[in-house]
């Protein structure tokens, strides 16, 4: 298949994904910045008991997570565009390092801390913890493969890593759809999207990978 045909086949979904990512980045920024007045009962923090919010480990985990997750989202979204990889290779590498560092050392570990304090019992705690572990693992594998020069496997694991990154968007979208249109109860909605948001994204990623989407990127990155 010629590069022009590949671009035509994949360009619209990729552009929609990028557009969605940019819109959600604005939403995430607007939702994240108000927390830095450090009000103890603002928004999400109001769903926790005073016993939880008074613990230093929870507060550290919360503020590290919301700031690093936002950073990871912002630098990860442009990595979907093959033209960005080709035309701005230095930026791609730099933002890629920020993305990897942000997940491996900040977002995923702090997410594990928050998973320990998750509402919804054991199911929610395990769901969030596994999400962070899969996030860490897929990102680490993507990093190791590019270090080894294995671009194909690097691309495949980056698709998986970004699928978990986009779980933040899926969780909110699925919650809204289930609650508003399917009439599910809040606790049913919450416990469902805890798992569906990242497992569903990974299933979609595997469907994409089954179409050998990495070949599309490779033909553009290394056309010869």
pLDDT in tens, 15-57: 777 788 888 988 899 999 999 999 988 999 999 999 999 999 9
% of the chain surpassing 90 pLDDT? 73
Task: State the pLDDT confidence band at 3, using cuts at 50, 70 and 90.
Answer: very low
pLDDT at 224 over 70: no
pLDDT of residue 120: 94
pLDDT in tens, 50-68: 999 999 999 999 999 999 9
pLDDT at 222 over 70: no
Euclidean distance between CA atoms 97 and 91, whole angstroms = 10
Buried b (16+ CB within 10 A) or exposed e, 21-31: beebbeebeee
Euclidean distance between CA atoms 28 and 136, whole angstroms = 21
Q: What is the mean pLDDT of the chain?
A: 90
pTM of the model: 0.90
pLDDT in tens, 119-155: 999 999 999 999 999 999 999 999 999 999 999 999 9
């Amino acid at each position: 298949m010629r590069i022009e045909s590949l671009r035509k086949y994949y360009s619209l979904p990729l552009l929609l994904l990028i557009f969605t990512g940019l819109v959600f980045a604005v939403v995430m920024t607007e939702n994240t910045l108000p927390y830095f007045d450090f009000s103890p009962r603002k928004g999400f923090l109001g769903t926790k008991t005073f016993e939880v919010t008074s613990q230093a480990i929870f507060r550290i985990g919360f503020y590290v997570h919301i700031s690093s997750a936002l950073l990871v989202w912002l630098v990860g979204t442009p990595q979907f565009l093959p033209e960005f990889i080709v035309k701005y290779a230095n930026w791609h590498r730099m933002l890629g390092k920020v993305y990897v560092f942000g997940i491996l050392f900040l977002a995923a570990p702090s997410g594990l801390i928050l998973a320990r304090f998750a509402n919804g019992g054991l199911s929610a705690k395990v769901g969030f913890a596994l999400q962070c572990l899969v996030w860490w693992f897929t990102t680490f594998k993507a990093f190791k493969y590019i270090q080894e020069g294995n671009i194909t496997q690097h691309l495949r694991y980056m698709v998986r890593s970004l699928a978990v990154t986009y779980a933040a968007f899926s969780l909110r979208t699925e919650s809204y759809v289930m609650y508003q249109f399917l009439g599910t109860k809040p606790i049913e909605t919450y416990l469902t999207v805890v798992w569906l948001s990242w497992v569903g994204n990974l299933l979609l990623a595997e469907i994409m990978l089954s179409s050998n989407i990495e070949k599309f990127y490779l033909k553009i990155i290394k056309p010869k």
